[in-house]
Structure formats: C-alpha cells, structure tokens
Amino acid sequence: MKVYINGINAISPQHTFKHEDWLKEPVGYRQVRYLKCIEPVYTEYIDPMAARRMSRIVKTGVCSAIKCLHDAAVEMPGAIITGTGLGCIEDTEKFLGSIFVNKEQLLNPTPFIQSTHNTVAAAIALKLKCKNYNSTYVHRGFSFEHALTDGLMLLHEEPADNILVGGLDELTDNSFIITDRLGLWKKTPVDSLKLLKYNNKGSLAGEGAAFFALSRERKENSYACMSLPAMFYKPRNISEVEHQLSAFLSRDEKTLNDIDLVILGLNGDAAGDKIYYQLIDQHFKNIPVAYFKHLCGEYDTSSAFAVFLAALVIKKQQIPEVACLNKSPENKIKHILIYNHLRNINHTFFLISAC
C-alpha cells in the first residue's frame, strides 16, 4: 500500500520552518562545533502564557507539528507519533540540578514532569485537543524510524488516517560537553558547508525537529509517497550492508537502475563515512549522490531531516548545489534512496517516490 506525505515541516539550523525557498539559500556556519536551530516566533503559534511553561524542544515540536498540519490542511490528526533519541534534555538538566542545589528537598516537580520523552507528543495533543492514539518511541538512532513504522502500520491496518509523525532532538551546552568527552565531535571549529573536507575523527553536532502528515489518500498537493523503512543493527562488514540494500530494493520491486538520487548520511567522521564511500565506489558511481548532515548536524533523529529534504526535492524537482556530492540529477526525480547510520550502529534505508 502506498502512503502519501501530504504535509511536511522542519525546524532546523536552516530556514526550513517556512521552507518555500530555503533550498536556494542554505545557511552556512563558520568556525563552529555544533549547529543550533533557527527558531520561529513561538507566540505566533502558542499562547504566550503556555509558551512560558514549555522548554525549547517542546515549543519546537509543537510549532513544527502545527505548521505541518496546516501544510496538509488537516485540523485533527488520527494519531500523533514522535521519535526522540534523548528527549527533553533541558528539563532533565533542570530537575537534576535542583536535586543537587536543594539537597533533594523542596523540589519543583514541573521540570521532572516535562523531562519525560513523551512530553512533546503530549503537548501537541493538548494544543490540538486530540484524544486519538498517541505514542513516543525512544530507540536512539532508530527512534524516528520506529515512529514512522508505527504510523505506516496504522495506515495499513486502517484504524486511523491523517497521521502525524515526527522526529526531534535538542542539543544543550551540557549535553554537548558530555558527548564531546566521548569523542563524538570535531575537536576544532569547522566551516559547516565544507564539513566533508575535515576528514578526521568526529562529526558536527546538531539538533532539529521534522514532522510529516501521512495519509492513505493522495491529494493535489501531496509531496511524495513512501514505504516502510528497513533497519539493521551493527553490520559486520560492507557485504552485509550490500545484502540489506538488495533485500530492501527487492521488497519494493526496485533495483538501483530505478533510483534517481541517493541521499547519504555523510557527517565528516572518517571512520563512519568509510562505508558510504565504499557504496559510492561499488554501487552508486552512475547515480547522483547528495548528503545532508552539513545542513543540520548529527543527532539521533537526523534521518527525519533527510526524509524532509527528499520529500521537498521530489515536490520541487530541485536539490541545492551545496548538497550535491557528485552531480545533479539530469532527469525527473522519481525515486530517492536514503541511507543513514548513527555511529555505524543503527542503519536505515528509506525509499521516497514521486506520487
């Protein structure tokens, strides 16, 4: 069964919230070690009094979800499903900080209540007064993929339609310091748009939120259609990745000859990018290849940004030159293959097609 993407939105380090022209004018950051979102004016979408009680990731998620539903002309979603790798870090830090400062006494319960991973999905439901199915998936690099899979299964089994699915994660100063100690990020500042030239250890940290309105029904303004993503864990070698790719394409009755564009999760980390370059050399030589993490940074649900990019590319039939790795597509873009992995642990394939 085909599932149609009828509405999209993203809040990211690019001007994607009002995404009409951001492909033509990507934002570059010089001498940075992480990327933060370009935030909208929240009070245009959330009551100011309510916004005061929301952390940044909650406001980001609520605004992106509302804009996505407006894009799809949907007032009430049949389900709200989110995926997040680390959840509401800012509120978690506030609660843990208050435990330390107040010596475990007289604690404010609000940061604890808002620190749970499903806070964003709940806030969206409260804003919309939606009492339908509501779920949040927390599986690190598979968080968005599992949320999307749940949404596609609901559409296939037909208990709901017009499902809202999103992936989001935030970056705080403290979370950056901790993950930097683990060696996840570049040790020196980089130019974000030239990320792949820094071919050494570590990547560029990022954050973002992306939401999609999915339906069984194709509309005049539908962006694209999609099928279930394929996930696999810690492949032993390149041969296993190739096997997974072949099985994924065969499942959807496609071959590499049908793919018009490949979007890869290249992030500037020499060890992690090796597998992407092997696939380019062995399988994608004659296919236009693009990448996206120099635009949004690396985070657990960055694959949601890739799906957002793919849907927009198919709708507009254009891709920014800054995202092209080898060449731009010459023919109509009908099928886009996305391959992303998080630290060579969580690997995912997506297929986004014209509808």
Give me the pLDDT at residue 94, please: 87
From the CB of residue 308, how many other CB atoms can be counted at a distance below 10 Å?
A: 28
- 168/71 Cα distance (integer angstroms): 19
Buried b (16+ CB within 10 A) or exposed e, 46-82: beeebeeebbbbbbbbbbbbbbbbebbebeebbbbbb
Give me the pLDDT at residue 18, please: 85
Give me the pLDDT at residue 231, please: 98
Give per-residue pLDDT as tens, 245-279: 999 999 999 999 999 999 999 999 999 999 999 99
Give per-residue pLDDT as tens, 82-131: 999 999 999 999 888 888 888 888 787 877 888 899 999 999 999 999 99
Give me the pLDDT at residue 215, please: 98
pLDDT confidence band for 292 (50 / 70 / 90) = very high
pLDDT at 1 > cutoff 80? no
Mean pLDDT of 138-144: 97
- What residue has token string 């843990």? 96
| 165 against 108, higher pLDDT | 165
Q: DSSP string spanning 198-250? A: --BS-B-B--EEEEEEEESS--TT--EEE---EEEES-SSHHHHHHHHHHHHH
Mean pLDDT of 295-313: 97
Tokens of 283: 């399988």
Using a 10 angstrom Cβ sphere, with 0-12 exposed, 13-18 middle and 19 or more buried, the burial of residue 176 is middle
The pLDDT > 90 percentage for the chain reads 86
Find the helix packing angle between 238-251 and 270-282, rounded to 10°.
60
Give me the pLDDT at residue 195, please: 97
Tokens of 17: 């919230």
Query: Which residues are within 8 A (CB) of 243 and not within 5 positions of it... i.e. 6 or more apart?
Result: none
- 353/336 Cα distance (integer angstroms): 6
Give me the pLDDT at residue 237, please: 95
Q: Which amino acid is it at 154?
A: L
Write down the pTM of the prediction: 0.96
- 68/10 Cα distance (integer angstroms): 8
Give per-residue pLDDT as tens, 51-69: 888 999 999 999 999 999 9
Nearest in space to 262 (alpha carbons), one of 250, 237, 280, 246: 280
Domains of the chain: 3-224 (3.40.47.10), 227-353 (3.40.47.10)
**Interstrand relation of 163-169 and 289-291 (parallel, antiparallel or unpaired):** unpaired
Give me the pLDDT at residue 96, please: 87
**Interstrand relation of 208-215 and 133-137 (parallel, antiparallel or unpaired):** unpaired
